[in-house]
Structure 1
């Protein structure tokens, strides 16, 4: 392997992880294209704000409906097969959507059904994909492996994909979804190359899926460190969701950045995330995970305060760059802590509970944020986020060291 290749994907991570990583990068390009083209397609079919909002709801709703079930299946079945089948279903839905657009039969109803169906398939694909990395990579290398995953997500999904999607949509309504279809199919071919993952499949299964889900929840709740980490993720997503729910209005009306400026906020965050993921290996070698966790959460609290106070566009962009840098370091650290501590046979179920906490916290926060802004102004949700996250951090500060080394603390299960 060349020196550049060794730097990007170290050989010690193994060939199975390399196939998984390249597959993830490929599908993320397609998903990034759809990130811009999807809303444009919805807007081309309706100007009803309720239907536009419904499209966003239908994309996230599957996580709350079947997230736990998807996690349980990931622990019962060959995980590679689950990913392949889920992405194959995505391919079929995308092919039908492309056909409806090409033949002129597309409508807002067709688009909403497609959005929901794609969301359902993505729940199973994403829930299961996240369990494969700790199967292929040794615990000491999980930080590097996850940072490479995140780098691909940021570059393909957040930076490259959206502008390409908008350009393709302008060239022809069907083109971005045809391109996404090609990316998903190629991703299926690549992930199939990792070989069977039946080594994690139980020799015999004599329990109902519901019982498996309950066992996963019990395992998480019995492990003090992992339980506390899950609660931290829930509360910080509530405060984050409250602030981010009105970010577009805050940037337009309070900071005066305009539509282009609002888009630059996302770009600044993604650029910061690339820097954070690129530096992750260096940070993990020089600092204890507990130090990284405390620093990231403290920066989150201070970021909310800074956004509550600022009215300067240049400062808002600088803050968002910093947010992206530490947010993706935190994402890596929290994921490494969980992957190291959770046994292989529970990775799918515990991971799905985390995703429920993530999406549930965001939904709660978004509802709170809108009410707070309507009552007290556009800066108020950021003040709420500052106070709420600050109190949460103060309460868990002394426990972050034990959380960071959760793999050394066994679950207290009878």
Structure 2
């Protein structure tokens, strides 16, 4: 058993990181359960398509609205306590939700409000949690540490959690939310065991308002060439990704001839591909530079859109999703590591929140483009748009990718406050 633990989480990463990893995996299992149970709950309370769609809206709106402020809090206050407070609040909301279910007083309005509050609290918890790894782990071990955290997200949040959530919901409306409350509470207890080094908070930040602090984080990102380029890459590639993936359910049915079960299996195949990426990530990064890993990843994503635009075969599409799943894990872990190495500790929260805005902002813009193209042209038009846009951007960015991967070599100090 000790050998298994050592292989999974080497002792050199430290006891603190093991507590953090256990908390991350536990909380992510609860979040994965909610991915399936939340929409099912709303759909069980109303047949109104608009109200059902709000459940999806409430999953991506909070990061856009609160992401930057969450970064300010992470940089100004005890990050461990922020995670504990945010997840503790989620446990309270879940308890109230379960109580209303058991007493037959739950309305669709409260269910939607609860889902919005849960996602909002998760924004603050996730932003603060993402800053803890570089505080606990030596920079040379950030690759493996982030790989383990991302592997847990992929496995329990995307692969294991949703089917458990659906099965628990079938057994009784309240069960998945009881399970999520227990798991989130356990995550709070685990992260409470962390002992962090003293968090540096520059004196120049203390009197400044929240907006001033946000601007400071944005200014640092813009002035750092590598991190700026990384944020721009994430924004652009989420526009193209969002355009294609926003109509994926229509693509699966109209282009591939798949039903609801087949559509669900595409996500499962992608998650299994991510597990392959998990297994080979350490081997890959020991042999290939991070710059070339990122170059290869962007090529894979570009060709994914082209291949899906061309194929009509569910089997070929499944193979494409498998490869894409491996790419998504490898790219995501690499980009997190590059950013953590480059950004000063006192700015990790705010620069990380800029990354969050880039992710969700790109997805929102892309989904609007994809919907318009699919409506006016064809269901494959968003994939052709994604391929063309990605190809152009890869060509423009090609030389910059090596610089991104070595961002830590050119880290400037945090800018002085005006």
What's the counterpart of residue 115 of structure 2? 115
Alignment correspondent of 1:168? 168
1:295-329 CA distances to partner (integer Å, 9 max, x unpaired)? Answer: 00000000000000010000111100000001110
2:299 counterpart residue number: 298
Alignment match, 1:127: 127
CA RMSD of the aligned region, Å? 1.3
Structure 2 spans left out of the alignment, 5+ residues: none
Q: Are residues 1:392 and 2:393 paired?
A: yes
Partner Cα distance (2:260, 2:109) in 1: 28
Q: CA deviation at 1:335?
A: 0.8
Residue aligning to 1:136: 136
Residue of structure 2 equivalent to 1:34: 34
Pick closer, same or farther for the CA change 1:197–1:67 going to 2, 3 Å.
farther
Residue in structure 2 matched with residue 244 of structure 1 by the alignment? 245
Query: Does the 8 A contact of 1:60 with 1:359 survive in 2?
Result: yes
CA distance in 2: counterparts of 1:304 and 1:258, whole angstroms: 21
Using the alignment, how far apart are the partners of 1:156 and 1:200 within structure 2?
33
Checking the alignment, whether the CA contact within 8 Å between 1:63 and 1:355 is kept in structure 2 is yes
The alignment of Structure 1 onto Structure 2 pairs a total of residues equal to 414
1:318-357 to 2 correspondences below 5 Å: 318-357=319-358
Matches within 5 A, 1:71-90: 71-90=71-90
Aligned residue runs from structure 1 range 1-20, under 5 A? 2-20=2-20
- Cα offset, 1:200, TM superposition: 3.4
Deviations 1:346-366 (CA, angstroms, capped at 9, x unpaired) = 000000010001000000000
Is the contact made by 1:59 and 1:116 (CA closer than 8 Å) also made in structure 2? yes
Secondary structure of the corresponding residue to residue 200 of structure 1: coil
Q: Secondary structure at the match of 2:105?
A: coil
The reply on whether 1:312 has 2:313 as its aligned counterpart is: yes
1:279 is displaced (CA, Å) by 1.1
Q: CA deviation at 1:67?
A: 0.7
In structure 2, relative to structure 1, the CA distance for the partners of 1:196 and 1:398 (3 Å cut) is closer
Answering whether residue 226 of structure 2 is matched by residue 225 of structure 1, we say yes
Partner of 1:215: 216
Query: CA contact under 8 A between 1:337 and 1:406: conserved in structure 2?
Result: yes
Deviation sequence 1:74-101 (CA, Å, 0-9, x none): 0000100000000011011101101111
Once the 2 structures are TM-superposed, how far is the Cα of residue 410 of structure 1 from its aligned partner?
3.2
- Structure 1 residue 211, shift from structure 2 partner: 1.3
2: CA distance between counterparts of 1:258 and 1:55? 22
Deviations 1:115-169 (A, max 9, x none): 1111110110001100000111111111100110011111111111111111111
Cα distance in structure 2, aligned partners of 1:381 and 1:338: 30
Shift of 1:55: 1.4
CA contact under 8 A between 1:79 and 1:197: conserved in structure 2? no
Distance in 2, matches of 1:195 and 1:242, equals 43
**Alpha-carbon distance in structure 2 between the residues aligned to 1:46 and 1:403:** 48
Number of the residue aligned with 1:257: 258
In structure 1, C-alpha distance between the alignment counterparts of 2:333 and 2:113, rounded to whole Å? 33
The match for 2:66 is 66
Residue 260 of structure 1, CA deviation? 1.1
Gaps of 5+ in 1: none
CA contact (8 A) 1:78 1:196 kept: no
Question: 1:197/1:60 Cα in 2 relative to 1: closer, same or farther (>3 Å)?
Answer: farther
Deviation at 1:25, TM superposition (A): 0.5
- Please tell me whether residue 273 in structure 1 is matched to residue 281 in structure 2: no
Report which stretch shifted further, 386-395 or 206-215: 206-215
TM-score norm. by structure 1 comes to 0.98
Q: Secondary structure at the match of 1:199?
A: coil
For residues 84-103 of structure 1, what are the structure 2 equivalents within 5 Å? 84-103=84-103
Q: What is the CA–CA distance in structure 1 between the aligned matches of 2:370 and 2:48, rounded to whole Å?
A: 22
Distance 1:4 1:168 in 2: 30
| Contact 1:28/1:156 (8 A) holds in 2 | yes
C-alpha deviation, 1:196, in angstroms: 4.6
